[in-house]
Structure 1
Amino acid sequence: MVLSAQRSHRPLTYLATIVGILVAAAALLCAPPAHADASSGDEFPVTINSVTPAVATPGSDITVSARIDNPTGKKFTGTAMLSLSRIILQTAAQVTEWQQAKPLDAIGSSLRTQAVTIPARGSVVATFSLPATDLWLLQSGDGLGPRGIAVSVSGATKKVTGRLGVARSFFIWQPLADDETPSVNLSVAVPIVSSRADLIAATHPQGRLDRIVAASGSDPLVSWLVDPGTVVTAAGELSTDAVLAASAPADAQSKIWASRIEEAASDHDTYALPLFDADLSTLRTTSSTPRASTSLTDAVADVSGSWNTGIALPWQAAPTSSVISDAAAAGLDTVIARDGFDLAGNPTYTPGSVTQVSHERGTSRVLVSDSSLTDLFAATDPEQSPAQSAQQFLAQLVVLARQNPGHDRAFLVTTPRDWDPAIEHVRAIIQAVDEAAFVTATSLSDIDSFAAESVERNLPKRSSDDAPVQVSTEQWADTVSNVRKAKQFAQVTSNPEKITGPLGDSLLQALGYQWAGSSDSAASIIAGVDATAEAVRSSLDVVIGSDVNLVSASGLLPITVSNSLDQDVTINVQLAPDHPRLIAQAVKDVVVPANSELSVQVPVRAVGSGDVDVQVRLTAADSTVIATPADFTVRVRADWETRGTVVVGILLALTLVAGVLRTIKRGRASSRTTTGPDKEQDAL
């Protein structure tokens, strides 16, 4: 019986053995090769495409979608997982730490998994859905805040095994109703400026300036800081007589962009920057500030007449009190600081951006940009999706909101002057901010009205510059002086604006660091202005011939004046003798035609004899000398006329006496001839 029983179990034993062999074979086929290494965690790129809703509340149905790429040449089968770290991230540093964690760092606990099969060098989208109740997060107000999430993919390839890729983002948990949730105010300031070399191309479709308008032009969160010179040039209204005009002429596309800016700005919170975004500190180094031409002034007024003013965006990222004072002198009582102004102490919350600074001209408000928010908004990570950028931005904002110090705070983001936005990322961030209850979109005009935070900040002792100083104080002072002299000269022309306008426009362009583009460009503008001013002042000249003889007590001295301008000039011609023996009378209101020479007869009077050095001065109506004086010598011989008169008189007298004597002599001879015969006749 026992033997029989053993025999009866043999088929089962054989079957078990066969099954074991098959299982082992299957395991060998499915298992990674013996030489497979542990993964580094970044072999398969993973991108989180969407997190909806952006802010989760009790009762929400949450969906997370991610794309997983297979860079290998073979089909991959593995597991995708959505995980959550339930620890509240309470500081900006913790948010950044989660986002920048290494691929194999902790990713929290699993929420959902799914099998994925990815074709060779292909991709698949993994979508995870779950109700908010599965998050098991706090339902009280203390639960407000960001939690880290991750989508990872695991499996084995020919070379590695384990976690092959991961992408991180955030759940934003808002347990209370909107009206019970603390909030902060946020404003984004976007400069719209350009270099002259890039301007026209930047306004074309998909150009940098075109993308700025497309990304930010329709939302109250964003305020514009616009250089009117950029818009005027794009519209083709910058005079071509300027020493420096745009590198390419305005075209149909640039004019369309300028029209879009003008139209959008009428319904948008927009501030006008100084013309050509000129550096305020350099402008303040001279008492005479150059003025734009009438045509440019009118064009700027047409474009920006309705825009706000009063806010300065210095080129110095961390403006010192002297820079803030210079802005105040220009009528700009609010200054944006993009750096510096670090907190002096350790407050229990993050203060808002509004502070106050005292300086030599009084007190100004300073809006200190939040560096973390600015970096996230302006410098989006190209490896992140728009959704990841938006969730990280919200995570930083909700950290600020949950601090809830009991008073309104306003935070500012300021993009760089050369910002080139990633449109989809920016739009995703703006939309997320608009939909979040813990942040209120606030215009720059509104944030400027917030009370200054009662916290102490360290005032920068030295400004940090984004660009090297392109025009030295000495260069600027010399060039302003040259332009001033050219303007004094221009008052004698029939159209002074034709001369002074382009000089003023060009001088302002030299101070626009972004506009000029480089130190070399700024230097070339200054050199061009100096050369033009000198050419203007030398366009009137006195043509000096040989020395002049004056042999009478009075007379007219011919003075030839040359005018190389293309317009008439009206001048006074004055002679300044170096000795009182010659007295000259000024000739006023002499009109010298364009591109011609004119001989001017100057009345003079001599009161003695001798050589006199004479200086010819061409002056304006106010007696300002407007051309380089010329010198010549007058040989005054006024007594020659007297002596000549005496000699002539004597000669005339002698001639008269001789004539009289001759007449008398003739008379006597005639008498003798007549008397002789008569006497003889009488004698007979």
Structure 2
Amino acid sequence: MTSHLTGARTPRAALLLALALTLGLLGWPAPAAVASASAGTAPTGPASTERTDGAARVSLTSMSAGPLSFDSPELRVTVVVHAGDAPLDDAVARLGIDRDSATHTRDWVAAWDDDDPDGPTGREVAVQDVPDVAAGESATVTFEVNRAQMGLGAWTAWGTQGLAVVVSDDDGPVAALRTFVTWDPGTGSQVEPVGVSLVAAVTGPPVDTDPLTAASDLQSAVSDDGRLADVLAATTTLPDVAWAVDPEVVDAASALGESGSSWAEALLGATEGRDVFALPAFDPDVAAYAHAGALVPRLPVSGALADVRQDLAWPVGPPDLATVSTAVASGSPLVVATGDALAPTGATTPTGITEVETSDGSTARMVVADTTLTDLLAGPPGDESEEALLERRLVAETAAVAAQAPSRGRTLVVAFSRTWDPDPATLAARVEALEQSGWSSTVPISQLLDTRPSTDARTPLAEREVDTDELAPAVVTELAASRDQLASISSIVPDPEALTTVVDPQLVAPSAVAFRSSLGERLLAVDAARTAIESLADGVQVVPGSTFNLIADSGDVTVRLRNNLPQEASVRLVLTPDDPRLQIEENPSVVVPANSDLAVPVTVDAVGSGNVVVDVQVLGQDGTEVTAPSSFEVRVRAEWEGVGTAVGAVLLGLLLVGGIWRTVRRGRSARRAAADEVEIPDPTAGQPTAEQSTAGQTTGQQSTAGQTTGQQSTAGQTTGQQSTAGATRPTSMPDDHGSTR
């Protein structure tokens, strides 16, 4: 097949070359270019520019490195034309250039990087016949042109230019390849460089759920060819790549055995001289906490990561204002913004740091990732052609940024996501392409943070946008409340860390970002968290008791506490009656021994009578409840004490009167009654006769017998006394018939 420019007709080729050189010296564009073509078998790989019908494709084999300039005017481009499923006959390849630097914005770069055969081709520079190619075969085409032939001169501004290779047959274009070349007319040294700061999230699969599953997933991630192993391998040799590390992943990996500990040791060993940020342990979902109105939990960080910065928050996807506000309130004033968040609205790409005022008036420093550069650097590896085109696109992006404001230096941010699984060699080659461009290079993110934030106009953050995969606000609220309860419970024991180190991680783990893609495992983690806090919530309990009866103005009610914790518990009892008729003198503070019961007396005062319900709270040192409140009833009968005293006094009086009456009644015996009836003779009567005296003596003897009888009974004594009197004074005793003798 015959070339349209050179090759088969050597004299014409020589003439065109001489003309090109002459015009080049004058700085004018040349009308033609040198080209060559050969048929054969070329290396094949994934199609980089394949039409949807699979008719043909074009891949890039090689291209001159570096920008074109007056000192380096030559450009050599070699492509391979693949016939695809059908043979390719009578085809030609055209090389074109779009050299309007003034319009070559980043949007133009994105539009030009397309393989549509019917897309723009620019100004034609060279045309080359393509040898007939059988189905499944390929042919190589090489273009050799210089800057004059492409129309590049002093009149062309510094910046990126578009190149296109379009293959056509008799029916029209069948395949195309587009790429970029940079032109430097000698002003490149005046262009301020574009820095690129890279930061990678070093987070793992969900941790601290099912120990077997979690260990297995993490083991796979840190083992050879695992994602975290690839992240470490790809970034360790690039010291300007910052890390945002989940400390729990490092701790968990250290306990997995040789592979896990080796990975953790390698990571910690590479932190020297690198910007490292410790994310909150378990990588909790900032957006989920924000949308629940709770602060992001941050567990203590130990080991080597305890000394790194801990002021960075990395929400998932574009953050809303609520998420940014929560991050700042939780102690992370640096917030990574990815996706289309805070996209610039002007024609100039601003530097990658800006400030946002939060909903409470605070200020967040936003680290804004450049979506395009992130996608290019983080993309999966391609074949040789795809990688060559991608590296050209990277260089073109930074050149377009630099050309926007050549005197204004800026730093763009590349944020590698939590799911990034890099190929170390591919990343190294892409970063090297940036470094060799001459106007862009990687810089530590700390250098960016030391610069003044950009004030360029950006799209505002949405007020509130909830992702359906976030942990439900009700569950987040429950977990936050459980952590507050745990803090209260731990405050009552002498060694709080012994409780918190076990339970607190279980209350944070369910909110991990990694659970967004493992919803079933998240449910298990939530259940485990509930079980953990419930076991402690019952650590100190009020033992239910019976109803108390209070019948005095003051007395004690006893509250029995049970401590199921392995440590003694210092608590304060607060009793609150629901009626003012019962008053609590003082709410006591007590120490309940470990795994023991303690009866606590509480003094109460009764103001009136009635049934009073008393609520019982067990509070920690910070005044919050450490167990569920309980209650008991007190039957207050304060007047019963006075009534009982009066009744007792009356009863005692009645007993006294009854005793006296009984004594008096028992003392009137028959003998005393008979004595009461004795007649006393008249003293003026004559002297008694002898018989009467004898009778008196006899009576005296009877009196002696009466005295004996008196010793046996009071009545007898009385009778004896009366009989003694009878010895002096004769008596007359009636007989049974009433006569006196």
Contact 1:80 1:151 in 2 (8 A): no
Per the TM alignment, residue 429 of structure 1 is displaced from its structure 2 partner at its CA by 0.9
Alignment of 1:434 with 2:430, yes or no, is: no
Any idea what the Cα deviations from partners look like across 1:303-349, whole Å, max 9, x if unmatched? 433434555444451644x655554445555544331445445x4x5
1:19 maps to which residue? none
Which TM-score applies when normalising by structure 1? 0.70
Which TM-score applies when normalising by structure 2? 0.66
1:470 maps to which residue? 470
AA partner of residue 271 (structure 1): F
Whole-angstrom CA distance in 2 between matches of 1:326 and 1:578 = 40
Alignment of 1:99 with 2:113, yes or no, is: yes
1:85 to 71, 96, 110: 96
1:271 to 258, 273, 277: 277
Per the TM alignment, residue 376 of structure 1 is displaced from its structure 2 partner at its CA by 2.0
- Taking a change above 3 Å as real, the CA distance of residues 318 and 554 of structure 1, as seen in their structure-2 partners, is closer
Aligned pair count reads: 617
Alignment of 1:53 with 2:65, yes or no, is: yes
2:197 maps to which residue? 187
Whole-angstrom CA distance in 1 between matches of 2:52 and 2:723 = 166
AA partner of residue 306 (structure 2): G
1:210 maps to which residue? 229
Contact 2:240 2:274 in 1 (8 A): no
Whole-angstrom CA distance in 2 between matches of 1:554 and 1:351 = 78
Contact 1:291 1:505 in 2 (8 A): no
Whole-angstrom CA distance in 2 between matches of 1:591 and 1:178 = 78
Alignment of 1:297 with 2:300, yes or no, is: yes
Provide the identity percentage.
23
AA partner of residue 487 (structure 2): K
Superposed, 1:127-526 pairs within 5 Å as 138=152, 142=156, 144-148=158-162, 167-174=177-184, 176=186, 179=189, 183-196=193-206, 199-236=218-255, 250-280=256-286, 283=289, 289=295, 291-292=297-298, 296-299=299-302, 302-308=303-309, 310-315=311-316, 317=318, 319-320=320-321, 323-330=323-330, 332-338=332-338, 339-345=340-346, 347=347, 349-358=348-357, 361=361, 364-380=364-380, 382=382, 385-453=386-454, 455-462=456-463, 467-468=467-468, 470-471=470-471, 476-477=476-477, 479-481=479-481, 483-500=483-500, 504-515=504-515, 517=517
- Taking a change above 3 Å as real, the CA distance of residues 111 and 313 of structure 1, as seen in their structure-2 partners, is farther
- Taking a change above 3 Å as real, the CA distance of residues 416 and 141 of structure 1, as seen in their structure-2 partners, is farther
Any idea what the Cα deviations from partners look like across 1:434-453, whole Å, max 9, x if unmatched? 22212132222222334455
1:541 maps to which residue? 541
AA partner of residue 230 (structure 2): R
2:707 maps to which residue? none
Contact 1:146 1:395 in 2 (8 A): yes
Whole-angstrom CA distance in 1 between matches of 2:454 and 2:441 = 18
SS of 1:459's partner is coil
Per the TM alignment, residue 628 of structure 1 is displaced from its structure 2 partner at its CA by 1.4
Whole-angstrom CA distance in 2 between matches of 1:40 and 1:476 = 47
Whole-angstrom CA distance in 2 between matches of 1:682 and 1:329 = 122
AA partner of residue 267 (structure 1): G
AA partner of residue 204 (structure 1): S
Contact 1:470 1:523 in 2 (8 A): no
Superposed, 1:610-649 pairs within 5 Å as 613-620=613-620, 626=626, 627-634=628-635, 638=641, 642=645, 646=649
SS of 1:101's partner is coil
Contact 1:49 1:386 in 2 (8 A): no
Per the TM alignment, residue 297 of structure 1 is displaced from its structure 2 partner at its CA by 0.3
- Taking a change above 3 Å as real, the CA distance of residues 325 and 672 of structure 1, as seen in their structure-2 partners, is closer
AA partner of residue 714 (structure 2): R
Whole-angstrom CA distance in 2 between matches of 1:607 and 1:84 = 105
1:27 maps to which residue? none
- Taking a change above 3 Å as real, the CA distance of residues 415 and 80 of structure 1, as seen in their structure-2 partners, is farther
Contact 2:115 2:176 in 1 (8 A): no
Per the TM alignment, residue 406 of structure 1 is displaced from its structure 2 partner at its CA by 2.0
Per the TM alignment, residue 430 of structure 1 is displaced from its structure 2 partner at its CA by 0.4
AA partner of residue 442 (structure 1): V
Please list every run of 5 or more consecutive structure 1 residues that lacks an aligned counterpart in the other structure.
1-29, 31-38, 237-249
1:4 maps to which residue? none
- Taking a change above 3 Å as real, the CA distance of residues 53 and 650 of structure 1, as seen in their structure-2 partners, is same
Per the TM alignment, residue 561 of structure 1 is displaced from its structure 2 partner at its CA by 3.1
- Taking a change above 3 Å as real, the CA distance of residues 659 and 491 of structure 1, as seen in their structure-2 partners, is farther
Whole-angstrom CA distance in 1 between matches of 2:311 and 2:546 = 62
Q: Which has the higher contact order (CA 8 A, sep 6+)?
A: 1
AA partner of residue 250 (structure 2): V
SS of 1:214's partner is helix
Any idea what the Cα deviations from partners look like across 1:271-328, whole Å, max 9, x if unmatched? 3444444455665688974754xxx4042xx3433434555444451644x6555544
SS of 1:85's partner is strand
- Taking a change above 3 Å as real, the CA distance of residues 666 and 328 of structure 1, as seen in their structure-2 partners, is same
- Taking a change above 3 Å as real, the CA distance of residues 61 and 674 of structure 1, as seen in their structure-2 partners, is farther
Whole-angstrom CA distance in 2 between matches of 1:176 and 1:395 = 18
Contact 1:89 1:399 in 2 (8 A): no
Per the TM alignment, residue 428 of structure 1 is displaced from its structure 2 partner at its CA by 1.5
Whole-angstrom CA distance in 2 between matches of 1:676 and 1:216 = 135
1:668 maps to which residue? 714
AA partner of residue 217 (structure 1): T
Per the TM alignment, residue 174 of structure 1 is displaced from its structure 2 partner at its CA by 4.9
Whole-angstrom CA distance in 1 between matches of 2:661 and 2:621 = 59
Contact 1:83 1:149 in 2 (8 A): no
- Taking a change above 3 Å as real, the CA distance of residues 481 and 319 of structure 1, as seen in their structure-2 partners, is closer
Contact 2:611 2:636 in 1 (8 A): yes
Whole-angstrom CA distance in 2 between matches of 1:326 and 1:669 = 106
Whole-angstrom CA distance in 2 between matches of 1:592 and 1:449 = 54
Q: State which drifts further: 409-418 or 631-640.
A: 631-640
SS of 1:375's partner is helix
Whole-angstrom CA distance in 2 between matches of 1:575 and 1:352 = 62
Per the TM alignment, residue 365 of structure 1 is displaced from its structure 2 partner at its CA by 4.6
Q: State which drifts further: 443-452 or 83-92.
A: 83-92
Contact 2:198 2:241 in 1 (8 A): yes
Whole-angstrom CA distance in 2 between matches of 1:505 and 1:514 = 15
Per the TM alignment, residue 392 of structure 1 is displaced from its structure 2 partner at its CA by 1.8
- Taking a change above 3 Å as real, the CA distance of residues 60 and 567 of structure 1, as seen in their structure-2 partners, is farther
SS of 1:385's partner is helix
- Taking a change above 3 Å as real, the CA distance of residues 634 and 331 of structure 1, as seen in their structure-2 partners, is closer
Whole-angstrom CA distance in 1 between matches of 2:576 and 2:451 = 66
Whole-angstrom CA distance in 1 between matches of 2:381 and 2:562 = 66
Whole-angstrom CA distance in 1 between matches of 2:113 and 2:162 = 8
Contact 1:542 1:630 in 2 (8 A): no
AA partner of residue 231 (structure 2): I
Per the TM alignment, residue 432 of structure 1 is displaced from its structure 2 partner at its CA by 0.9
Any idea what the Cα deviations from partners look like across 1:201-221, whole Å, max 9, x if unmatched? 333322222222222332255
Whole-angstrom CA distance in 2 between matches of 1:607 and 1:167 = 97
AA partner of residue 628 (structure 1): P
- Taking a change above 3 Å as real, the CA distance of residues 476 and 165 of structure 1, as seen in their structure-2 partners, is closer
Q: State which drifts further: 378-387 or 660-669.
A: 660-669
